[in-house]
Amino acid sequence: MTALDLALFHVPIQIKERTFRSKEELTLDYTDTELRASYRFGREGILFLSDLVKDRLTRQTNRNHALSVEQQTMVTLRFLASGSFLQVIGDTLGLDKSTVSRVVDSVLDALCEKRNEFIQWPTNLSQTKAEFYEFAVFPNILGAIDWTHIRIKRPHHDEPSFINRKGYPSLNVQAVCDAKGNVLLFSSSHNVCAHMERNGNWENGILLGDSGYPCRSFLMTPFLNPNEQHHRRYNRCHVVTRSIIERTFGRWKRRIHILHSEIRMDPKKVTKIVMVCGILHNICIQLNGPDVAQELVNEDVENGNNYNGQQDGRGIREHIVDTYFNRH
């Protein structure tokens, strides 16, 4: 063995020091502006959400590096707010991908259990109608309805069912919102119309939908080729009033960026994510205040309940036009 060999033989082996992940980024010790930039909620909102899910997430453990309920909530919010891959979220926060996946699943499940507390049909129907009436004097409206596409990866099973008319796979989500932009009903199927068929009529209140929907007794659509002035006036007020659902989808997707990107998960899990995003949207409105004034609007607005004609969509639509938009 040469001198060089001996020298190399005696070089001490560098043992990489074991390091633990840092939790410094998963802390509430930031300003509300900084927290909202990363999590879409300030300190109050994160604590509110953590309190909602704490019973489900609290675990008895002696591990030195277990995540608190607040940290689990923040991991999930970061995932939803950024739209990044689980691996990227883990790298950013110093967590294993498997840990991020387990945390996100747990928080999503816990929030889904709370959906009936935050996504619900209005109880004060008169106030809801009056708030819609303020937009463009369109009477008796309880909600605006529309569909939106959430892009997903190509599913392994039943792929043709998820390919939309633009040629890419998506989850087609239907929602109804109120005049403040709160999501009232949420479905990736036709459950919304089924609900209205059971509960909706001219006296109880109706929905506004675009021309992609059929005109029904509980759902008013625009005239396709309006020739009369009062029909055109009806259409203008219809568009102004119904546009709240389009603005709601826009705010919803801007607030929670995962809805903008392709969600690379199976449709069942995407459905859960979409539901949670709807819950978070409504909680944001609840905590940060609605876009319209909070004081009660005039509930004495005449909402046109005196209709004794045939209970079909076209008949009710003509009644609305003649009563409210036909200026003699």
- The pLDDT of residue 15 is 47
**What string of H, E and C letters represents the secondary structure of the chain?**
CCHHHHHHHCCCCCCCCCCCCCCCCCCCCCCHHHHHHHHCCCHHHHHHHHHHHHHHHCCCCCCCCCCCHHHHHHHHHHHHHHCCCHHHHHHHHCCCHHHHHHHHHHHHHHHHCCHHHHCCCCCCHHHHHHHHHHHHCCCCEEEEEEEEEEEECCCCCCHHHHECCCCCEEEEEEEEECCCCCEEEEECCCHHHHHHHHHCECCCEEEECCCCCCCECCEECCCCCCCCHHHHHHHHHHHHHHHHHHHHHHHHHHHCHHHCCCECCCHHHHHHHHHHHHHHHHHHHHHHCCCCCCCCCCCCCCCCCCCCCCCCHHHHHHHHHHHHHCCC
Confidence grade of residue 290 (pLDDT, cut at 50, 70, 90): very low
What digits encode the pLDDT tens for the residues 298-326? 333 333 444 444 556 788 888 787 777 77
pLDDT on residue 180 = 93
Instruction: Indicate the pTM of the whole model.
Output: 0.80
Confidence of residue 6 (pLDDT cuts 50, 70, 90): very low
